[in-house]
């Protein structure tokens, strides 16, 4: 086992890795930008080194600085977390060249699955079903139009180097094609420096379901069942759960088998995720592979009892998987809500600021993976995620009720959050019934909580304000009538008492 590991990341995933290392008896090295000098991962690590200014391109994305810190701190391995350099084949190769263990798949696997068009070709050869579309990248608008006419509208235009919901557009009809094509190429060029693209048939009422895989260096590969990730906003996941409410046992077995085939086709090692689109008839198609630990890995941990991050580290150290497929089973149901500093009233615009008070929920079946604390600054430089709130229950219904309770307990001040939005989803009839797809938010969310009652806290504050105003008016009236000493019945009781609740 490694003596010391460097975490090339920040926020909640850096804290998550530090905790896993601590349980394994491994010392940890944090790196931080100037904006993160007082961040939680810096406080929690055994050692911490500055690596540059706040912009990630000048700090967390600078390979030379991270490699230099690894050598100076005598770290034997680097855990990339997710985002930043986690799926950069060049960084994985640099680690190999510098005699540092990259806690992730080999660079060849990252390279094979990083290009979406190449990945589709590999999956076809491995007999993994893929969405109908172009066989390769398309260079001209005429080629794009020809493929679209062949497979029929609606279609998805996608950047070959895309990811994270960027570089893709759904096109309903031919008249929209040219403007969508320009937009996709522009976004792909600015986000990835690569404007190559391809076309896929748009799956009607698609569900986004992914399968967690784990493979060691000794030829063993297993799946740890599926996660439902269809509650998305602009192709970004917001709420995830495991298992999926629409996947039956037969489909689950088949998807798991196909996911293992996909991983083995690229000689995969470590934790990875095979993402599928599932149509209304439960036909599933390969979408892409994420060659890293996923943001939503916690829901899989909750239903399997497997620590995926610790297993990642053990596998990278050369140890065989401590379990086989027959040892794995689903226990209960887990739901994750991504808590962001963003404003649901303003199109979910990021709302950076200082957290003046933070008290996360607790209790049985509740887990909050966070990278902040009271006094932390949510800056404009990075993703505004505050934490991942997870609730587990014996059934999906119990997990939903527990999540509602946890959301109500979550207390945070100083920044605007999306907690109320999550409460709205947890009450929505379609979500409760499991009857949703990737278009759920676009179809159902109109502004904000239309017709929903205010919370008890908001009602109490409003009542207190009204009571104070009325009391001042009555006091002024009594004084005007020469009766300053009389006290009327409590206006708080008159105004704020809820029906059926004794004062």
- Which residues are known catalytic residues? 292
- The first and second tokens of residue 99, run together, are 């005699």
Residue the block writes with tokens 């996947």: 247
The answer to whether residues 393 and 401 touch, using CB atoms and an 8 Å cutoff, is yes
Alpha-carbon Rg for the chain, nearest whole angstrom, is: 25
- Cα-Cα-Cα-Cα dihedral of 45, 46, 52, 53, to 10°? 40
The residue among 289, 278, 215, 229 whose CA lies nearest residue 252 is 278
Angle (CA) 248-253-254 rounded to 5° is: 100
The residue among 455, 342, 356, 345 whose CA lies nearest residue 413 is 356
Any bridge partners for residue 392, and if so which?
334
Q: How far apart are CA 373 and CA 412, in angstroms?
A: 10
Q: How far apart are CA 414 and CA 139, in angstroms?
A: 48
Instruction: Count other C-beta atoms under 10 Å from residue 18's C-beta.
Output: 25
**Helix (H), strand (E) counts: the chain:** 17, 22
Q: How far apart are CA 327 and CA 324, in angstroms?
A: 5
The residue among 460, 91, 90, 422 whose CA lies nearest residue 231 is 422
Q: How far apart are CA 454 and CA 447, in angstroms?
A: 15
Instruction: Count other C-beta atoms under 10 Å from residue 24's C-beta.
Output: 16
Any bridge partners for residue 1, and if so which?
none
The answer to whether residues 309 and 297 touch, using CB atoms and an 8 Å cutoff, is yes
Whether the upstream peptide bond of residue 154 has omega within 30° of 0, thus cis, is yes
Q: How far apart are CA 331 and CA 345, in angstroms?
A: 37
DSSP H or E stretch at residue 469:
helix 456-481
DSSP secondary structure letters along 50-96? EEESSSGGGTTT-HHHHHHHHHHTT-SEEE--SSTTTT-HHHHHHHH
């Amino acid at each position: 086992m490694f003596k010391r590991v460097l975490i090339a990341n920040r926020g909640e995933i850096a804290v998550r890795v530090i905790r896993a290392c601590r349980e394994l008896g491994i010392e940890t090295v944090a790196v931080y930008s100037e904006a993160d000098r007082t961040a939680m991962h810096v406080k929690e690590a055994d050692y911490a080194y500055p690596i540059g200014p706040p912009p990630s391109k000048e700090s967390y994305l600078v390979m030379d600085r991270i490699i230099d810190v690894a050598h100076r701190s005598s770290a034997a391995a680097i855990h990339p977390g997710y985002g930043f350099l986690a799926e950069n084949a060049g960084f994985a190769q640099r680690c190999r060249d510098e005699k540092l263990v990259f806690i992730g798949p080999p660079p060849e696997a990252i390279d094979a699955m990083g290009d979406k068009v190449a990945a589709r070709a590999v999956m076809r050869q491995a007999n993994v079903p893929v969405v109908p579309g172009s066989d390769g990248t398309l260079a001209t608008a005429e080629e794009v139009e020809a493929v679209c006419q062949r497979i029929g509208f609606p279609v998805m235009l996608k950047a070959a180097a895309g990811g994270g919901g960027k570089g893709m557009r759904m096109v309903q009809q031919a008249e929209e094609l040219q403007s969508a094509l320009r937009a996709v190429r522009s976004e792909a060029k600015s986000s990835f420096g690569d404007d190559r693209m391809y076309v896929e048939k748009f799956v009607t009422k698609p569900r986004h379901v992914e399968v967690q895989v784990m493979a060691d260096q000794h030829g063993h590969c297993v799946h740890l069942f599926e996660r439902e990730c269809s509650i998305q906003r602009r192709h970004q996941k917001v709420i995830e759960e495991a298992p999926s409410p629409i996947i039956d046992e037969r489909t689950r077995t088949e998807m798991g088998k196909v996911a293992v085939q996909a991983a083995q086709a690229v000689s995969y090692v470590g934790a990875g995720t095979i993402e599928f689109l599932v149509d209304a008839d439960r036909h599933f198609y390969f979408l892409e592979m994420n060659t890293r630990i996923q943001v939503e890995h916690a829901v899989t941990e909750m239903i399997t009892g497997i620590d995926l991050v610790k297993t990642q580290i053990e596998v990278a150290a050369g140890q065989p998987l401590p379990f086989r497929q027959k040892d794995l089973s689903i226990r209960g149901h887990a739901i994750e809500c991504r808590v962001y500093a963003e404003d649901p009233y303003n199109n979910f615009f990021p709302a950076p600021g200082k957290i003046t008070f933070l008290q996360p929920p607790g209790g049985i079946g509740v887990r909050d993976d966070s990278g902040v604390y009271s006094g932390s600054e949510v800056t404009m430089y990075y993703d505004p995620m505050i934490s991942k709130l997870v609730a587990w229950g014996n059934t999906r219904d119990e997990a939903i009720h527990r999540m509602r309770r946890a959301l109500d307990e979550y207390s945070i001040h100083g920044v605007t959050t999306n907690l109320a939005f999550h409460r709205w989803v947890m009450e929505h009839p379609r979500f409760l019934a499991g009857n949703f797809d990737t278009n759920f938010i676009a179809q159902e969310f109109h502004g904000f909580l239309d017709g929903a009652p205010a919370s008890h806290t908001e009602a109490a504050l409003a009542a207190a304000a009204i009571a104070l105003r009325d009391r001042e008016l009555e006091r002024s009236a009594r004084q005007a009538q020469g009766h300053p000493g009389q006290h009327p019945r409590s206006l708080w009781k008159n105004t704020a008492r809820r029906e059926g609740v004794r004062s």
